[in-house]
Amino acid sequence: MRSAKVAFLAAIAFAAEALGHGYVYRITADNTVYPGYDLYIDPYYSPKLPRIAYGVGSTGPIFDLTSPNIACNTPHSPIPSAIAEVRASSTVTFHWTRWLYSHKGPISAWMAPYDGTTNKVNVNQLKFFKIGEEAVDSKANIKPGNYVVRHEVTSNGTVTPASVTFPGGYKKDEPGFKYDIFNTTVPPLPYPFVGPAVYVPSSSFPPLTPKERVVVSPTGQGEAADKTYLDYQEKVLTAQSATTESFDAAGG
């Protein structure tokens, strides 16, 4: 079974009027828990903390489908300096911060192969294929290699799924961008997802033996530094939840 590498981008697709204010603060990949890029903590560390996720400077959506930032928001830096190893057909879960209840929209996850190192990757030239939503499986018969997940794969597969680039993966006239979930004359489900269909393997694969759970240090600087980081992150997440609850209660 050959190995491959995965760097992570959070990918989110919104209807044209939707708003979202969240980010991925943690990623569980094949039962290993990695810190995501926390834009309220990580920018203040020097030297930069090792992450498997690209950095992000905004929690807001990108409305312009022709913008280069549609690939992975802005400024998608710093670049990942660590790699996650994920066995084919294992599960990858993206842990998002809490959003306002009224800020609804679908979440999609994508993969794209790349060669070389992440600091040489141009995200607007990557060939993305959709793999699912929220907790997603890395498809078992995909060709081994380096991948950027737009939300190290090991595989014996040979498949390279049909793919798209961003910008270009979405079309402005797709029904999903005009779907009004607040219009009571239109049922909220099923939502017509935008972009290409989710890649589905042509064959099934036997279940994997679960790996022992591993938690990666968020700082790499010892238990005391990790506790300081995680304690502050918990305060940030708690404050965000309280603010969200206040807005939700007010109908926000």
CATH of the domain at 87: 2.70.50.70
Between strands 6-9 and 146-150, the pairing is parallel
So what's the pLDDT on residue 139? 52
So what's the pLDDT on residue 96? 82
Count of structural domains, the chain: 1
Q: Domain range holding 62?
A: 1-252
So what's the pLDDT on residue 12? 31
**Per-block average pLDDT, block size 10, for the chain (252 residues)?**
46 31 85 92 93 83 87 82 84 81 75 84 89 54 51 62 90 85 67 86 80 95 96 92 81 64
